[in-house]
Structure 1
Amino acid sequence: DVGCHLIDVPFRTLGLKYPKDAECSVGSVYTKMWNADYYPQGCPPSSLITLNFGATKKNKTPMQLTWTDGGIRPPHPEIIPANDDIGGPGSYNGVLMIGEKGIISTNINDSSPLTPKLYLYNGETEFGPETEKMPEPEYGHQRKWVDACKAGFNSKEHLELTSSFDYAGPMTETVLMGNLAIRSYMLRKENAKGNLDFFARKKLLWDGENMKITNLEDANQFVTRQYREGWKI
Structure 2
Amino acid sequence: MSASSYPDRRTFLSTAGAAAAALAVGASPSRAQGGDKLRVALIGVGGRGGAQLKGLGGEQVVALCDVNQEALDKAKALFPQARTFKDFRRVFDHASEFDAVAVSTAEHTHAFATLPALQLKKHVYCEKPLTYNVHEARVIRETAARMGVVTQMGTQIHAGDNYRRVVEHVQAGVIGKVTECHVWVSRAWGWHASEAEATAAKDIVFVQDRPTTADPVPPTLDWDLWLGPAPARPFNNVYVPGPKWYRWWDFGNGTMSDLGSHWIDLPFWALKLKHPKTIEASGPPVHPELAPASMQARYTYEADGEQPALTLTWYQGTRKPEIWTQKGIPQWENGVLFIGDKGMLLADYSKFALLPEEKWVGYTPPPQSIPKSLGHHQEFIHACKTGAPTTCNFAYSGLLTEANHLGNVAYRVGHAITWDHKAMRITNAPDAERFIKRPKYRDGWKLA
With normalisation by structure 2, the TM-score equals: 0.37
User: Contact 1:55–1:63 at 8 Å: present in 2 too?
Assistant: yes
Of structures 1 and 2, the one scoring higher in RCO (CA 8 A, sep 6+) is: 2
Within-5 A mapping of 1:45-194: 45-59=293-307, 61-76=308-323, 82=327, 85-86=330-331, 91-108=332-349, 114-120=350-356, 124-125=359-360, 137=374, 141-142=376-377, 144-145=379-380, 148=383, 155=387, 157-158=388-389, 161-185=390-414
What is the match of residue 198 of structure 1? none
Work out the percentage of aligned pairs sharing the same amino acid: 32
Aligned CA RMSD, in angstroms, stands at 3.1
Per-residue deviation, 1:18:
0.8
Closer, same or farther: CA 143–45 of 1 in aligned 2, 3 Å: closer
Residues 26 and 182 in structure 1, CA contact (< 8 A), matched pair in contact too: yes
Letter in 1 for 2:330: D
SS of corresponding position for 1:124: helix
Q: Distance in 1 between matches of 2:328 and 2:342?
A: 21
How many Å apart are 1:150 and its aligned residue? Answer: 7.3
Q: Counterpart of 1:2?
A: 259
Take 1:54 and 1:64, find their aligned partners in 2: how far apart are those partners?
9
Cα distance, 1:135 vs structure 2? 7.4
Query: Which runs of 5 or more structure 1 residues have no equivalent in the other structure?
Result: 29-37, 109-113, 186-201
Judging changes above 3 Å, is the alpha-carbon distance between structure 1 residues 146 and 105 closer, same or farther for their aligned structure 2 residues?
A: same
1:44 corresponding residue in structure 2: 292
2-structure distance, mates of 1:94, 1:184: 27
Partners of 1:136 and 1:96 lie apart in 2 by 24
Length, aligned pairs only: 184
| Cα distance in 1 between the residues matched to 2:392 and 2:277 | 22
Q: Report the structure, 1 or 2, having the larger helix content.
A: 2
TM-superposition CA deviations, 1:107-150 (whole Å, max 9, x none): 12xxxxx33211159x5135897xx9x9784xx64464366467
Q: TM-score, normalised by structure 1?
A: 0.67
Where 2:323 maps in the other structure, the secondary structure is coil
1:22 pairs with one of 274, 279, 285: 279
SS in 1 for 2:264: helix
Any conservation in 1 of the 2:323–2:329 contact (CA below 8 Å)?
no
Q: 1:232 maps to which residue?
A: 447
CA distance in 2, matches of 1:230, 1:77: 46
8 Å contact kept, 2:324–2:330: no
State the 1:223 CA deviation: 0.6
1:209 Cα offset (Å): 2.3
Deviation >6 Å, runs of 4+: none
Measure the CA separation in 2 of the matches of 1:179 and 1:73: 17
Task: Tell me by how many angstroms 1:57 deviates.
Answer: 2.8
Deviations 1:164-193 (A, max 9, x none): 1111110111111111112222xxxxxxxx
Give the corresponding residue for 1:34.
Answer: none
